Amino acid sequence: MKMISRIGLLILTNLAVVIVIGILMRVLGLDVALAGKGLQPMALLAYSMIAGFSGAFISLLLSKFMAKWTTGAKVIESPRDETEAWLFATVERLARGAQINRPEIAIYDSEDMNAFATGAFRNSALVAVSTGLLRGMSREAVEGVLAHEIAHVANGDMITMTLVQGVLNTFVIFLSRVVGYAVDKLVLRNDDRRGPGIGYTITVILSQIVLGILASLIASWYSRRREFRADAGSAKLNGKGPMIAALRRLQAEHDPPALPESMRAFGIHGGGGGLSALFRSHPALEDRIAALERS
């Protein structure tokens, strides 16, 4: 019910913002002005929503397949040794505590100590761990990481992130084209009845780059918030000691995460410092440890 209410809230928020934009355009007379220049704002809003959300949801539906393909993760159908048996039992226990079905369990070959959870549905998700994680951390710390990933699944983080991305995509598509039409028709005074001129194309491309950067900042901020929630979820499922131990172990590593770029946000850690911190998907490890210790 919590995930359903969150999804409903995000959809309603998106629709409310679309309606507000439509009303503002009508009050300011922009819809009439742009329509007179060949742009139908409400039709563009509808197109932007379809284009923005369809890409995000297609990515979500393909997420498990793409995760397995890009990392080479192999799903364990049945435990073949003691380590896999322990992994199965731990994930099953944590999933039961989170009141979700046991996710598919996979291992992928990497020296990087990492793990990720993905999937379109909370009761048919995938949790994968690297061989480096299993070798480099104590079992207590690995339990903390697994609880963190199970918390992601239980929180519905994959679908809420998809909805956030869909909202951002919608407004990048919509606003870039509005700016493009405004520059082409109102500023450059292009009256070519055959359609927009080169000014429109160039402005749309530049607007999408700028707005895309701003959208990335918002998406990254939200991703960092969900990492704090997943850490708290790990503490609730398994105690905060194991997760703190895992984060402290990661602090001792200085190599960047080895997950493919498309999977980086789903890992247990990742990022950089300085200005790039605004775009990273995970908070600093010291901030995550401090948040757990305060809880």
Residue 169 and residue 110 share a domain: no
Host domain of residue 37: 2-62+157-294
pLDDT of 126 > 90? The answer is yes
Q: Catalytic residue among 143, 149, 253, 261, which?
A: 149
The per-residue pLDDT for 292 is 92
Helix axes 41-61, 63-71, angle to 10 degrees: 50
Q: Tell me the average pLDDT across 44-61.
A: 79
pLDDT digits (tens, 9 = 90+) for 268-286: 666 555 556 777 878 888 8
pLDDT of 95 > 90? The answer is yes
Q: Tell me the average pLDDT across 216-234.
A: 90
Looking at the domain assignment, is residue 238 inside a domain? yes
Higher local confidence (pLDDT), 196 or 160: 160
Residue 166 and residue 270 share a domain: yes
Structure tokens at 106: 């996979």
The per-residue pLDDT for 243 is 94
pLDDT digits (tens, 9 = 90+) for 134-193: 999 999 999 999 999 999 999 988 888 888 888 888 888 888 888 888 787 666 565 555
pLDDT digits (tens, 9 = 90+) for 252-262: 875 555 555 55
Whichever domain contains 116, its CATH number is 3.30.2010.10
Residue 288 and residue 209 share a domain: yes
Q: Is 81 left (phi over 0), alpha (psi -120 to 50) or beta?
A: beta
- Percentage of residues in the chain having pLDDT higher than 70: 74
Residues 6+ apart with CB under 8 A from 176: 203, 204, 207, 208, 211
| φ/ψ (deg, to 5) at 32 | -65, -45
Residue 84 designated active-site: no
Looking at the domain assignment, is residue 144 inside a domain? no
Residue 201 and residue 58 share a domain: yes
pTM score of the predicted model: 0.77
Q: Which of 216, 215, 227, 218 is nearest to 282 (CA)?
A: 227
